[in-house]
Amino acid sequence: MVLLVVSDSHGNVENMVRAVELVQPRMILHLGDCWRDGEELHDRFPELPFEHVPGNCDYRSDQPQEKLLEIAGKRILMCHGHTYHVKSSLIEAGYAAEAQQADLFLFGHTHRAFWDFRGKTVFLNPGAVGDYYAPSCGVVRIENGKLDASIFPLREK
């Protein structure tokens, strides 16, 4: 199963469309900042399962700030990151991942792509797909009980 992870689109839906076309995912996860971009992407690819959470710029108090998904036997905790203060450290995020027994912790907010393995949890920030100079997204593969995550730059070479 291939998951496309995007965050911080900030009005740049075309970069997300290009990411879907290049990655060919089976599911899309949008980590916030801009909620309506995620909805527009889902409208363009309604056949793909889609999940999203609001970011700090979305003002969606009616929506959960995080979601815990179980996909192909893996526990995935997704959030924008601002509620865990990820711009200053990943300590709070680490506690949350441990408490939820997450295999994968997905966050955005910093606009910087990041991948790390901490304990049993993979931490992935896909960067800002809406960035006009160095857009990126995340790709997660779950196959045969194994989870692999990577950063996928969208910049044309």
Find the domain containing 41 and state its range: 2-153
At residue 155 the predicted structure's pLDDT band, cuts being 50, 70 and 90, is confident
Write out 53-76 in H/E/C secondary structure.
Answer: CCCCCCCCCCCCCEEEEEECCEEE
pLDDT in tens, 82-123: 999 999 999 999 999 999 999 999 999 999 999 999 889 999
The tens digit of pLDDT for each residue in 61-86 reads 999 999 999 999 999 999 999 999 99
In the structure, what pLDDT confidence band is assigned to residue 156 with cuts at 50, 70 and 90? low
Q: What was the pLDDT predicted at 157? A: 47
CATH number for 63:
3.60.21.10
Q: What is the mean pLDDT of the chain?
A: 96
User: By percentage, how much of the chain surpasses pLDDT 70?
Assistant: 99
Number of domains in the chain: 1
- Note the pLDDT tens digit of each residue in 131-153: 989 999 999 999 999 999 999 99
